[in-house]
Chain A
Amino acid sequence: MKSKFLMTAAAGAFVTAGLPSTAAAEDLTLCWAAWDPANALIELSKDFESQSGHNMSFEFVPWTSFADRMLNELNSGGQLCDLMIGDSQWIGGGAENGHYVKLNDFFDANGITMDDFIPATVTGYAEWPKNTPNYYALPAFGDVVGWTYRKDWFERPELQAEFKEKYGRDLGVPASLADLKDIAEFFQGRDIDGTTVYGAAIYTERGSEGITMGVTNALYNYGFQYENPDKPYDLDGFVNSDGAVAGLEFYKALYDNATPPGSSNWYMGENIDAYRSGQVAMQMNFAFIWPGVEADENVGSGRSGYFPNPAGPAGQFAQLGGQGISVVAYSEKQDAALEYIQWFAQPEIQAKWWELGGYSALKAVVEDPGFASSQPYAQTFLDSMAIVKDFWAEPAYADLLLPMQERIHNYVIAGEGTAKEALDGLVRDWVEVFEDEGKL
């Protein structure tokens, strides 16, 4: 015990000594989305304030308007944010438009290496161009779409018996997307404890990025690819391949047959509400919600289970979420902002980050032998992070996202046209964007 205390004290002293001293305390503003992890970061940052003498302020914006608000801020060269935990897809625009400070020299000077972080998060949150050693962010919050399910319902003997009789297999964690749909349909409209419940809450939101973040979990696993792997920006036959069409049809069938009525514009918040209130047997959502699920008095404490996005005919992938932390190029307090990143990158701080509910992307944290059993969802997080794929991270990310939102929502929710027509239309839209960008 004593030695542990001494080690902690020594580590604290090392950390304090390691932080560069500054002549004057600064007021730093960190911008991020308004969600549970942001509250954990406020708590975590108190440590930085006491060590560095700087004051931290926070600007948190709800997810549905986060991109609008913050991309406006960056595009206008605003000085509101000194540090930005921007979405993974912003990295291309952040780098090419000069919004983010390139961090390579800073990392080299301070012994921070990207080899210490989960590779998918480095590629997803920090690098631009992808797969090149040019870093504009430090992986800050690992996140990925996964599934939460009502373990207590799944374990009911009468439901297990009925399911086995109907489908010839046990009611449990689905091995494939097709299995997941069967389970969702099994629960759809079922009476449980006097309440009508439904199969699954999935992402359908139209206004920001919701339905795209949801449908990709089906598209990837059925064969959708963003481009020809051998010829960048060659889209036809990859975005609208037969597999992609089948994936989109699957998502529509799931929406039509196994989701709560009225769930035509749902994203993270609505899915959480539906699950916590006992409306659905399963929910698709980013992993950040899992600590909140565990703590919930209705669905926590062992009543919920977690599983990665199930496989499809073309493999098993999951939509990457999460963000990296960057220094805003328009900030006049870049030195202090870099201090924050240096402090945040330390293994002790990352371990504390995980304890508080933040998903650390540092290997030292997630590869610790005790990590997988540290929380009921920890293993699912690790498994999910191993199968991630992300949306375009091009500078024209917003231009690419909007037509996808529109085409997919119009087909899945409004039932306009066919899946093939929707994806063919998406190819045309994206080709137009890349032509405008001079990449085609």
Chain B
Amino acid sequence: MNLRECLRIGWRSITSHKLRSTLTTLGVILGVAAVITFMVLGGGFSQSVVGEIEAEQEPVMTVHTQTDPPDGFGVMLVDTPIYTESDVEALEELEGVEWVAPEGSIGLAQTEYDDERVTGVVEGQATTPDRFEHDEFVDGEPFDWADEAVVSERVNDAFEGNLSAGEELTVTFEDGEERTVTVAGVVDDDLGGQSPPLVYLPVDEHHETTIETPDGDREPVYQSLVVGVESLGDVDPAQDAVTDYLAEESDASELKEDDDEIAVQTIEDAVEQFDDLVGQLTAFIGAVAAIALVVGSIGIANIMIVSVTERTREIGIMKAVGARRRDVMQLFLVESVILGLIGAVVGVLVGLGVGYLGVTLLEWPMVYPIDWIVIAIVVGVGVGVGSGLYPAWRGARVDPIEALRHE
């Protein structure tokens, strides 16, 4: 029996039970749609964060402390300051390292701009002008003296304003001290909208956190470091050198908690780590969604068994007019494959639709997870074959004499 005829007959029998067929495929539709939706959302999230970064490769790396979170998923940043001034100086001496900019957080109670005050939203960070070497300035330039500040573009969101170089900003520190600074520049260092609004202040003037080093001295200490490298070609050896130093000789290695880990990352590393995290998350959610697929395939198997029983007499007639076992088998298999395939295709469309809606609302870019779409279709066909196999086999070995006696 040729496939076209088989498809036609199978399609006819599916459409003659519209409600039943719809409900049967619903399981597969939901499963596939859920998987595709999560893949679109995951991909969109990833793209929104990573997309702009990948374009610009810079000879910069960051040094921060991280640890495994208690729930064991992804990584967690540790903000205990452990990088001492001696570490900064030692790192600057390493081969290939051009500069080292420390980052220390400053508690800001309030920030005031243009008669508007916000409390707690804007964070302060003490650093050196070097830190901005590879950043893009929307306006102005890095600060170079005590009463200047650089603000991140997102500070605009906090004030719903449009800060530009030369304007004044009043910051209130946690100890109550007030300070008016001039905005030297507005920097675009936002990684996909993930960082908070930041006011960068000169480290010499504003950083006061110190610690007793293992040598017994008292030194300023920082939460993280930004390391500038001479050229892109020096990044790899410099990364190794920095990692080695921090792991073996630094004060930081002595000051850190045992479970904490000092991470030296280039932007690429950070992107990779982030992608990994998002990938793990989407795969996990996808796996949950895949359970719906299993349920869907059981639904198809169930309905096909019912269908075989219902059509026992029809099978008898077909055998009486010359259908071979494989013809009958093919007929039922084609029917269940059509159901699975329709489920997968509709599921992909629904998934893309819901995903599109989601990324549009969240203002992430739309991503078409081609590989997952292909997987979904293959799985749909597989579900059809898998769940149709047993019913089709049962149909094929129906005894025509029994079947023709069957009412």
Say whether A and B bind each other.
Answer: no
B residues with CB within 8 A of A: none
A residues with CB within 8 A of B: none
